[in-house]
Amino acid sequence: MDRIQHLFPAIRLVRCSWRWEDLHRLTNDASEDVSPRWSPDGKRIIFGSNRPGITSRPANPVQIWAIDADGSGLQQLTDLKGAGLPVWSPDGRRIAVRSTLSCQSGVCLVDLTTPLPAKSAEAFPLFQPGFQIAVEHWSPDGKWLVGRAWRRDKASDFRGFVYSLDKREYRELPKPLSRNSARWLSDSRRLIDVEEDNKLYLFDGATWQAREIYSFGFDAFGHHHHKG
């Protein structure tokens, strides 16, 4: 069954088919559940939630949780100083999460094979002084992440990057990534990305140069423009 992720206006998690058949609510409480992602094997979903859990914090910041596709097996994965925007590794053993309070660069790497919920995480190195980062997609071979960086004092100054997990090094892309749309191709050496100019770009890992491969004849992001 083809499946997509969706949020009700009440910010509860649901599962449905591509044609909105077989709608199945996974959470139904007062908590806010956001940023869902399917596991690589399609059996679980991770998401951010402010629901009460096992926490060593004085308050209940948003943490990362996981739930089975049938709504069972709800599990807290992190106990950080707040966490969000999870990205699952291809083998399902790690997640990269946004956490500006727990990791200076803005992203932490959490090992899911250790006892959970994880109270500590490996911090990504700084991209550049004064920059925060967010990661968008993990390469199929598990060796690379693609993401974007921006200055804390100038949120419009976006930079695109790829990050080598083996070398712990960034490679800045020649074109900024302003949307959460960059995705690895199956060879783990090329990227595609749709940008604000409604064009599809291909990044080749040999040089990481961007090449336009398609131009949409419509607003690819569904922006609504109002006159007057």
How many structural domains does the chain have?
Answer: 1
Residue 226, domain member (yes or no): no
pTM over the 0.85 mark? no
How does DSSP assign 58-103, residue by residue?
Answer: SS---EEEEEETTS---EE-B-SS--EEEEE-TTSSEEEEE-TTT-
All residues at 6 or more sequence positions from 94 whose CB lies less than 8 Å from its CB, including other chains: 88, 109, 110, 111, 112
Residue 69: give its domain's CATH number: 2.120.10.30
Q: What digits encode the pLDDT tens for the residues 7-23? A: 333 344 544 454 556 66
Residue 215, domain member (yes or no): no
Residue 95, domain member (yes or no): yes
Domain around 176: 3-180
How does residue 136 score in pLDDT terms, banded at 50, 70 and 90? very high
Q: What digits encode the pLDDT tens for the residues 157-188? A: 889 999 999 999 999 998 888 667 899 999 99
Residue 133, domain member (yes or no): yes
